[in-house]
Amino acid sequence: MGTLFVISGPSGVGKGTLVKLLLEEDSSLALSVSCTTRQPRAGEREGKEYFFLSKEEFLRRRDENGFLEWDEHFGNFYGTPKPFVLEMLKERSVILEIDVRGAMQVREALKGSGISPVLIMIAPPNEETLIDRLAGRASESEEELKTRLDRARYELSKSVDYDYLLVNDELDAAKNRLKDIIETEKSKRRL
């Protein structure tokens, strides 16, 4: 049985990049695929980026406790399919890259199941670095940037609910620390 890792962190902190680098190095890890009710974007493939569901199908699965976590954003639903993740865990460790609210839902959904997810918060070295990273994207207005920064402060305040807080100060060093955390947790569960 693999270990379930839940990785969260504010937008712009580099969690996606860290996960991508980790997956390239460690074939014993898999990234979970989420379900969504939004339409596929150009180049997205069913079962690769997302499982694309109708709203009716998503709500049916939600009502049948078919998601470890779910949320609605801009009129579309997103969720982590419980059967898919449980099946993957039979053969390998799995990473969920989700927000703080979703991480708490996963922890709650798995209570009493014998599966104890490892929650890892990725944080910036400081707020100025996060502001620079978000502003460097040049894809948001001042108001959107302020909203993202407020959201980042909220998410980082929830790091006390996580098992690990990993500061992404330098990419290779942060990747190696993340790899060490994952190896430590996987070996603990083999004992």
Which tens digit of pLDDT belongs to each residue from 50-100?
999 999 999 999 999 999 999 998 899 999 999 999 999 999 999 999 999
Q: pLDDT higher for 173 or 127?
A: 173
Read off the amino acid at residue 137. R
How far apart are the C-alpha atoms of 34 and 106, rounded to whole Å? 13
Radius of gyration of the chain (CA): 17
Name the residue among 187, 190, 164 with its Cα closest to residue 177.
164
User: Both tokens of residue 26?
Assistant: 């460690």
Q: Is the pLDDT of residue 162 over 60?
A: yes
